Amino acid sequence: MRTPTIRDVAKHAGVGVGTVSRVLNGSDQVREDTRKRVLEAINALGFSPNSAARQLSGGKTFTIGVVSPFFTFPSFVERLAGIQDVLDGTDYDLTLYSIRSTAQLRRRLGALMLQNRVDGLFILALPISEDETFSANPALPIVVVDDTVHVRRYPHLLIDNVRGGQMATEYLLQHGHTRLGFLGDRVDESFGFTSAQDRFKGFQNTLEAAGLPVNMNWCQFCLHGEDYARDAARDILIQPDRPTAIFAAIDTLAFGVLDAASDLGLRVPEDLAVIGFDDIQAAGFAKLTTVRQHLFQSGQRSAELMLDWLRTGHVPSENWSTVMPLEIVERSTV
């Protein structure tokens, strides 16, 4: 048997389709006994409104997209969880668009702008530029989270990476270290992340302000992945005059540093101090001292911005540009 439509319900309840629609959408223009009759018919037939038809007619999809780079990175997952957490209580579905390259990002955005598949879009940790892509549909609500190129066209949540680098470096200095190394991820050509660069800038600035030299032999930029990080850290640590502390621009890289240290028989924190960045869950397991950037909360905040926009119909003017707070989480690697 065909799945029942609104017309079947109308016939069964002895009313018109308009009335059924009104009941479905909670209009107060329906007499109580009529509403009851309609609800009974809906129940009797097991009717459930077809979502595509509703979308086509109403012009809303009740879907919000998340555009994000390959989302296994713990920092993306935690932000995503924050978004999901807020959206969960609403009518909106969350659709994932995983991106692997700038070309794919452009294509995706272009398509999403036009196809009316989503009512809104989160752009997570992807450097987007103020180009023509967006003009295709200027009305589409977009919230940008942790964008490295500061896009002023949409509301956004930013991480002050330079400041974070500064905090981590100051923390190491405060603990008596003067020989500091740095490990960052190499600029991914396909995306052009600059967060590690910015954190390095904070590192540099702080050292210079303290009158200390930046020893480039102690600074490495490696690809993502524990193995790369371990090798890079090893290269730093096998030098005769090795640093006594390393600032890893990402927690996952910090794990590689810890690995390398243990391979070389260096005790942490006695022989080598390590500080990371992000405070992903695994950082807690590993007792890693790190810079926390409140990933989950940044997801929640961005979802609230989005809902606000969708509800009111116009760009939220408050909190247009939010810089997320950072804080040092003291554990046992410094």
Task: Write down the least CB distance from residue 9 to DNA, Å.
Answer: 7
Work out what residue 14 binds among a copy of itself, DNA, none; the CB cut-off runs from 5 to 8 Å by kind: DNA
Residues that bind a copy of itself (CB under 8 A): 3, 46, 48-53, 55-56, 61, 63, 70-72, 74, 77-78, 81, 84, 88, 93-98, 100, 111, 114-117, 136-137, 226, 252, 255, 258-259, 262, 281-282, 284-287
Residues that bind DNA (CB under 7 A): 2-3, 5-7, 14-22, 24-25, 28-31, 33-35, 47-50, 53-54, 56-58
Which of 112, 110, 108 is closest to 61 using CA atoms? Answer: 112
Work out what residue 84 binds among a copy of itself, DNA, none; the CB cut-off runs from 5 to 8 Å by kind: a copy of itself
Work out what residue 92 binds among DNA, a copy of itself, none; the CB cut-off runs from 5 to 8 Å by kind: none
Work out what residue 95 binds among DNA, a copy of itself, none; the CB cut-off runs from 5 to 8 Å by kind: a copy of itself
Work out what residue 21 binds among DNA, a copy of itself, none; the CB cut-off runs from 5 to 8 Å by kind: DNA
Work out what residue 25 binds among a copy of itself, DNA, none; the CB cut-off runs from 5 to 8 Å by kind: DNA
Q: Which two tokens stand for residue 258?
A: 């810890």
Which of 247, 103, 90 is closest to 165 using CA atoms? Answer: 247
Task: Write down the least CB distance from residue 117 to DNA, Å.
Answer: 12
Which residues contact residue 99 at a Cβ distance below 8 angstroms, ignoring those fewer than 6 apart? 67, 68, 69, 70, 105, 108, 126
- Of 93 and 160, the one with the shorter C-beta distance to a copy of itself is 93
Task: Write down the least CB distance from residue 49 to DNA, Å.
Answer: 4
> How far is 195 from 249, CA to CA, in rounded Å?
8
Name the burial class of residue 105, with classes exposed (0-12), middle (13-18) and buried (19+) by CB atoms within 10 angstroms of its CB: buried
Work out what residue 17 binds among a copy of itself, DNA, none; the CB cut-off runs from 5 to 8 Å by kind: DNA
Task: Write down the least CB distance from residue 90 to DNA, Å.
Answer: 17
- Of 27 and 174, the one with the shorter C-beta distance to DNA is 27
Strand partners, 291: 277, 328
Task: Write down the least CB distance from residue 334 to a copy of itself, Å.
Answer: 16
Which residues contact residue 208 at a Cβ distance below 8 angstroms, ignoring those fewer than 6 apart? 214
- Of 52 and 216, the one with the shorter C-beta distance to DNA is 52
Spell out the alpha helix ranges (H) of 146-220: 161-174, 195-209
> How far is 120 from 144, CA to CA, in rounded Å?
11
Task: Write down the least CB distance from residue 24 to DNA, Å.
Answer: 5
> How far is 304 from 309, CA to CA, in rounded Å?
9
Distances (CA, A) of 240 to 218, 237, 244: 11, 8, 12
DSSP, collapsed to helix, strand or coil, labels residue 250 as: coil
- Of 13 and 157, the one with the shorter C-beta distance to DNA is 13
Task: Write down the least CB distance from residue 138 to a copy of itself, Å.
Answer: 12
> How far is 75 from 87, CA to CA, in rounded Å?
19
Which of 204, 151, 184, 208 is closest to 278 using CA atoms? Answer: 184
